[in-house]
A and B are shown apart, each in its own frame.
Chain A
Amino acid sequence: MMKNNRRNFLKTIGLGSGTLLMNPLDGFGAIDLQNEIKPGKNDENVYAHRNITTDFLVAGGGMAGLCAALAAARNGSKVVLIQNRSRLGGNASSEIRMHISGASQLKQVWRETGILEELMLTEAVINQQKSYEMLDYVFYDKVVSNPNITLLFDTMLYEVHTNGRQVTTIKAYCSQTEEIYDISAKYFADCTGDGTLAALAGAEFMRGRESKKAFGETLGLDKPDDITMGNSLLFMAEEHDKPMPFEAPSWARKYTFKDFQYRKIHSFEYGYWWIELGGLEDIVHDGQKIRHDLMAVIFGIWDYIKNSGNHPKSANWALSWFGAIPGKRESRRLTGDYIMTQRDIQAPKMLEDRVAYGGWPLDDHLPAGMDDTSLDPFRSIPLKGPYSIPLRSLYSKSFDNLVMAGRNISTTHVALSSTRVMATCATMGQAIGTAVAFCLQHALHPAALVKDKAKLQAYQQLLLRQDQAMLGMKNTDPLDLALKAAVKASSETVDGKAAQVIDGINRDIQDGSTHQWRAEMGADGVWIELNWKAPQSISTIELTFDTGLHRFLRISGQKSVLKNQIRGPQTETVSDYLLEGFAGNNQVFEQKTENNYQRKVVHTVDPFKADRLRITVLKTHGDPLAKIFEIRCYQ
């Protein structure tokens, strides 16, 4: 009987009927099925029903959803974050282990800031052992430490209810806990990657590859098709002190020397992004087959490495991990009020509603992947610089309260080949999380926010204050007391004038200025001071430090990727410093901080009145210069 109930449950949600999660209501259509699922005596108490009401439902706990949830919660919204796995990070998590790539690839100065930077800096310090599970832990810790977030793991979205242009409720279930959740919210974020929530709601979306004509893209196709980039599985391996034999399963694919003419095996410890398949299949619905095919590829490649004789150095190497959840590159793209195209990536403009940025190349992969090793697996077109992502690409044109972040935003296939990477997705997440909190506070929806110039600017200023990765933004926050202060310092370098801490720009933007105060560290430290003509009431002091944004900072299983990174506090960052407030000559406030490694630090303190705020840098993490990008003060 229990078995039967279970089957009925699966049918109810669409799993048993073979329709999977896409259209569970189909399961209710057939009369025989309706009879079959009529609740029996014992059914009702098996799955517990939970009704949850919240401000903001975020579906998907990858880098986009994670940052969206954190951003909204930190700005005061109640958030429910549902994740269909029991780990956060999605493609970055220990379950998939893809690189968190983004604008660092420009090899300029453009590593993303904001929540992502906070996460990466934290991870670099506490996870010097480079354990992927500890990356998951960093994400988990940030989420569960925020009381505004309810995190539901192993929770599968299967139904969405709407009313006019509003999404009203989603249904999800957790098989581990035998619970069904009915979650009502004011806003919904589709950070599923596949755009499942929006598709279930009936929102407009795009799929496949557009023609050149459709959006005037030279990289478009002559004729549109429904092909996508493929999925990937990765593996990791370790070297032992004795030969480690390997026998491939019968279903492993067979490879020979010539299969690797475009796919070089440089090292054995982690790989390979080109273990890719599925672009020619239905990337979502054929996922079970694609996963198995990818496993057959992984074990086939490892068999080749170990047993072809062509890689004799692999003798002592053995597999230590392989992925079982394919990392997806592309599926649905939800249509917003703005569709980003090739031009937005290659010849970017300062879009008025810019809220995030990207900088990964236009990196399209050949859909055949490992099914055709005679072809180069990708074509990557580098960019001259970062490009902005507008808020209009981050909300659905079909629903007023549906936002999105991740690979499923409003772009063409060509633009997606750049926007799809995780550091970029994370910045989108922060943008929509903050937008939702802002909209809730101002009784606006995102489309109206874009149209209200004053509100849009206020929202962008909020993002900038919270260190969001944005282009061409300057601090003009009228509430920032620091902007009204005179600045002086114990010393400064020629290219690091003290006044630059209030020049409104909080990072190197490649305009020839450092935009930071710099001073040679002395034995007793160096100081910088904000002076006001009249005493100011201060309760928040915000500092932005240097964390070497020109470098890569991301966990990797690959030695060469870690090579020029700093796994620990970044050298440029101020470690120990003293905050002091003075009223005249009287010290009215003092706080000492040690072992800081963050870029953006917010000190919320008991209010004090002072006409002078001094920051004394006592120690850096190795840099001979004290460096501060920005100081902000608030009442």
Chain B
Amino acid sequence: MNDLLQHIADGKGHTKCMLLSYLFISVLCLYTSNLYAQVNRHPQLAEYKSEKLFLFDANDSVQVEIELLKNDQNQPQLYRAYLSTGVCSDGLCKPVNIQIYWDLLGDFYEYETAKDAGLTKFDHMPFTADDHRRLHTILADTSSLLRDYYVEDLIDPQVKLRSKTIDGVTGATNTTFQATTVPGALYTVYTLWHFVNGTIRHRLFNNTVAMLSDSLIKQLLGSENGKYQRFMIAHLNEAQAEKFQQALMELVEYSKDDYVPHFALDKLPEATWQDATQYNQVLAFLPKMPFPVQTAILNKLTNTKMDAKGRSLLENHLVHTNSDVQRKLIKAILTK
């Protein structure tokens, strides 16, 4: 806020901006980018091939082209669009030139801006590295306050900022909402958030659902991404669950997500628990699993007549567990 207030001063303007947005669909190969949000960067992003998908109306006058990026094994990785527009309020306009990436579920992934034509704040001050980090966090927050407030409501009518360079005055962000924006760039952040998290999300999500092939299912189930794992498990029908039984069992064994092993367990065909090869594969991992997963597996085995190997694996666990609940379950299984 203080950064902003120091700009309240004289301010004779020289630029008149139109309250119109304008558009360029960029030629991506000529686009020089400067990456700020490194956190999520796909290691091979530069090597991805792009495939044009569809045109999308970002607003009344701006259309963007949505692309799908694939890796060298032709596996879908990310969605991408280049947005070039102007964001104006009270006669003060800021250019927005930004390349946006979404993941395969349509959630914001990252963005890139050009070094000399990137995002600016009040009075054309360029975004700092901090501002970029902040913007990244804001865009990734699907339930941001920006979703449910009109931009005018986020302004404090008591505080006015006078531009040094443009003949104009604009409002400052209300203190309560400062955490939800980048100081001096409310309209830009607001516009970007609504573009990134607007109806485009559903279009991208639906596009992924429509693309689901056996290979993509396998890719998503086998990804390290808990969100992808959850999505994929939820979308499997019974036949697919049988087909991808092995992948589901691996999620029970390896997923780092707290809940995925439970969802995978519930999706596994009932036959898994009558097939010694299958249940013994799961039981072999029992000692390494989180307690709630162990218990959930034991609950799945209550109607199983265990083979000798299974019995021995359970007897081994019986020795090591310190839980009455698990001891009781194992004893019940062993007496079957």
Q: Choose, from A157-165, A377-385, A564-572, the stretch at the interface.
A: A377-385
Q: How far is the CA of A309 from the CA of B263 in the complex (A)?
A: 19
Q: How far is the CA of A114 from the CA of B75 in the complex (A)?
A: 64
Q: In the assembled complex, how far is the CB of residue B95 from the closest CB belonging to chain A, in whole angstroms?
A: 28
Q: In the assembled complex, how far is the CB of residue B193 from the closest CB belonging to chain A, in whole angstroms?
A: 14
**Is B56 among interface residues, defined by CB-CB distance under 8 A?**
no
A383: which B residues are within 8 A, CB to CB?
176
**Is A537 among interface residues, defined by CB-CB distance under 8 A?**
no
The reply to whether B296 and A256 form a contact with Cβ atoms under 8 Å apart is yes
**Is B210 among interface residues, defined by CB-CB distance under 8 A?**
no
Q: Give B301-336 as 1s and 0s: 1 = Cβ < 8 Å from A's Cβ atoms.
A: 000000000000000000000011110000000000
Selected contact of B259 from candidates A258, A307, A381, A385, CB within 8 Å: A258
Shortest Cβ distance from A309 into B: residue: B325
The reply to whether A379 and B296 form a contact with Cβ atoms under 8 Å apart is no
B54: which A residues are within 8 A, CB to CB?
none
- Looking at chain A's contact residues, the main secondary structure is loop
B296: which A residues are within 8 A, CB to CB?
256-257
Q: Choose, from B63-71, B128-136, B147-155, the stretch at the interface.
A: B147-155
**Is A426 among interface residues, defined by CB-CB distance under 8 A?**
no
**Is B174 among interface residues, defined by CB-CB distance under 8 A?**
yes
Q: How far is the CA of A125 from the CA of B174 in the complex (A)?
A: 37
The reply to whether A309 and B262 form a contact with Cβ atoms under 8 Å apart is no
**Is B295 among interface residues, defined by CB-CB distance under 8 A?**
yes
Would A310 and B292 be within 8 Å (CB), given that A258-B263, A346-B149, A347-B153 are in contact? yes
Q: How far is the CA of A219 from the CA of B293 in the complex (A)?
A: 38
A381: which B residues are within 8 A, CB to CB?
145, 148-149
Residues of A within 8 A of B (CB-CB), count: 20
B259: which A residues are within 8 A, CB to CB?
257-258, 261
**Is B177 among interface residues, defined by CB-CB distance under 8 A?**
yes
Would A219 and B148 be within 8 Å (CB), given that A309-B291, A309-B325, A309-B326 are in contact? yes
Q: Give A290-322 as 1s and 0s: 1 = Cβ < 8 Å from B's Cβ atoms.
A: 000000000000000001111010000000000
Q: Give A369-387 as 1s and 0s: 1 = Cβ < 8 Å from B's Cβ atoms.
A: 0000000000101111100
The reply to whether A384 and B177 form a contact with Cβ atoms under 8 Å apart is yes
**Is A362 among interface residues, defined by CB-CB distance under 8 A?**
yes
The reply to whether A384 and B174 form a contact with Cβ atoms under 8 Å apart is yes
Would A379 and B143 be within 8 Å (CB), given that A257-B296, A310-B291, A384-B176 are in contact? yes
Q: How far is the CA of A15 from the CA of B96 in the complex (A)?
A: 67
Q: In the assembled complex, how far is the CB of residue A144 from the closest CB belonging to chain B, in whole angstroms?
A: 42
Shortest Cβ distance from B323 into A: residue: A309
B 2-28 contacts with A by CB, 8 A:
none
B150: which A residues are within 8 A, CB to CB?
346-347
Selected contact of A382 from candidates B145, B263, B292, B325, CB within 8 Å: B145
Q: Give A340-356 as 1s and 0s: 1 = Cβ < 8 Å from B's Cβ atoms.
A: 00000011000000000
**Is A218 among interface residues, defined by CB-CB distance under 8 A?**
yes
The reply to whether B148 and A218 form a contact with Cβ atoms under 8 Å apart is yes
A258: which B residues are within 8 A, CB to CB?
259, 262-263, 266
Q: How far is the CA of A540 from the CA of B14 in the complex (A)?
A: 64
Residues of B within 8 A of A (CB-CB), count: 25
Would A362 and B325 be within 8 Å (CB), given that A310-B292, A310-B295 are in contact? no
Q: How far is the CA of A379 from the CA of B299 in the complex (A)?
A: 34
A347: which B residues are within 8 A, CB to CB?
150, 152-153
A219: which B residues are within 8 A, CB to CB?
148
Q: In the assembled complex, how far is the CB of residue B154 from the closest CB belonging to chain A, in whole angstroms?
A: 8
Selected contact of B148 from candidates A307, A309, A362, CB within 8 Å: A362
Shortest Cβ distance from A312 into B: residue: B323
The reply to whether A346 and B153 form a contact with Cβ atoms under 8 Å apart is yes
A257: which B residues are within 8 A, CB to CB?
259, 262, 292-293, 295-296
The reply to whether B153 and A385 form a contact with Cβ atoms under 8 Å apart is no
A 323-376 contacts with B by CB, 8 A:
346-347, 362
Shortest Cβ distance from A106 into B: residue: B176
Shortest Cβ distance from A362 into B: residue: B148
A362: which B residues are within 8 A, CB to CB?
148
Q: Give B279-292 as 1s and 0s: 1 = Cβ < 8 Å from A's Cβ atoms.
A: 00000000000011
Q: How far is the CA of A231 from the CA of B266 in the complex (A)?
A: 30
Q: In the assembled complex, how far is the CB of residue B317 from the closest CB belonging to chain A, in whole angstroms?
A: 13
Shortest Cβ distance from A307 into B: residue: B325
A307: which B residues are within 8 A, CB to CB?
325
A261: which B residues are within 8 A, CB to CB?
258-259
Selected contact of A309 from candidates B152, B176, B295, CB within 8 Å: B295
Q: In the assembled complex, how far is the CB of residue B149 from the closest CB belonging to chain A, in whole angstroms?
A: 6
Shortest Cβ distance from A259 into B: residue: B262
B174: which A residues are within 8 A, CB to CB?
384
The reply to whether A309 and B149 form a contact with Cβ atoms under 8 Å apart is no
Q: In the assembled complex, how far is the CB of residue A336 from the closest CB belonging to chain B, in whole angstroms?
A: 24
The reply to whether A308 and B325 form a contact with Cβ atoms under 8 Å apart is yes
Q: In the assembled complex, how far is the CB of residue A621 from the closest CB belonging to chain B, in whole angstroms?
A: 31
A382: which B residues are within 8 A, CB to CB?
145, 176
B324: which A residues are within 8 A, CB to CB?
309
The reply to whether B325 and A385 form a contact with Cβ atoms under 8 Å apart is no
B293: which A residues are within 8 A, CB to CB?
257
Shortest Cβ distance from B234 into A: residue: A374
B145: which A residues are within 8 A, CB to CB?
381-382
Q: How far is the CA of A257 from the CA of B296 in the complex (A)?
A: 8
A312: which B residues are within 8 A, CB to CB?
323
Shortest Cβ distance from A315 into B: residue: B324
Q: Give B67-105 as 1s and 0s: 1 = Cβ < 8 Å from A's Cβ atoms.
A: 000000000000000000000000000000000000000
A 436-464 contacts with B by CB, 8 A:
none
B292: which A residues are within 8 A, CB to CB?
257, 308, 310
Q: In the assembled complex, how far is the CB of residue B325 from the closest CB belonging to chain A, in whole angstroms?
A: 3
Q: In the assembled complex, how far is the CB of residue A273 from the closest CB belonging to chain B, in whole angstroms?
A: 19
B323: which A residues are within 8 A, CB to CB?
309, 312
Would A256 and B153 be within 8 Å (CB), given that A310-B291, A310-B292, A384-B176 are in contact? no
Q: In the assembled complex, how far is the CB of residue B250 from the closest CB belonging to chain A, in whole angstroms?
A: 18
A379: which B residues are within 8 A, CB to CB?
143
Q: How far is the CA of A206 from the CA of B98 in the complex (A)?
A: 46
Q: In the assembled complex, how far is the CB of residue B298 from the closest CB belonging to chain A, in whole angstroms?
A: 10
A 263-309 contacts with B by CB, 8 A:
307-309
Shortest Cβ distance from A218 into B: residue: B148
Q: How far is the CA of A214 from the CA of B176 in the complex (A)?
A: 29
A 383-409 contacts with B by CB, 8 A:
383-385
Shortest Cβ distance from A374 into B: residue: B234
Q: In the assembled complex, how far is the CB of residue A218 from the closest CB belonging to chain B, in whole angstroms?
A: 7
Q: How far is the CA of A258 from the CA of B259 in the complex (A)?
A: 6
B 183-214 contacts with A by CB, 8 A:
none
Shortest Cβ distance from A261 into B: residue: B259
Q: How far is the CA of A307 from the CA of B328 in the complex (A)?
A: 11
A385: which B residues are within 8 A, CB to CB?
176
A346: which B residues are within 8 A, CB to CB?
148-150, 153
Q: How far is the CA of A308 from the CA of B299 in the complex (A)?
A: 11
B 135-179 contacts with A by CB, 8 A:
143, 145, 148-150, 152-153, 174, 176-177
Q: Give B223-263 as 1s and 0s: 1 = Cβ < 8 Å from A's Cβ atoms.
A: 00000000000000000000000000000000000110011
Q: In the assembled complex, how far is the CB of residue A513 from the closest CB belonging to chain B, in whole angstroms?
A: 15
Besides A258-B266, A381-B145, 18 other A-B contacts (C-beta < 8 A): A256-B262, A256-B296, A256-B299, A257-B259, A257-B295, A258-B259, A309-B295, A309-B323, A309-B325, A310-B295, A346-B148, A346-B149, A346-B150, A346-B153, A347-B150, A381-B148, A382-B145, A384-B177
Q: List 10 A-B contacts (CB under 8 A).
A: A256-B262, A256-B296, A256-B299, A257-B296, A258-B263, A309-B291, A346-B148, A347-B153, A381-B145, A383-B176
Closest 8 pairs (CB-CB, A-B): A309-B325, A384-B176, A257-B292, A258-B262, A309-B323, A347-B153, A381-B148, A310-B292
- Interface of B toward A, CB cutoff 8 Å: 143, 145, 148-150, 152-153, 174, 176-177, 258-259, 262-263, 266, 291-293, 295-296, 299, 323-326
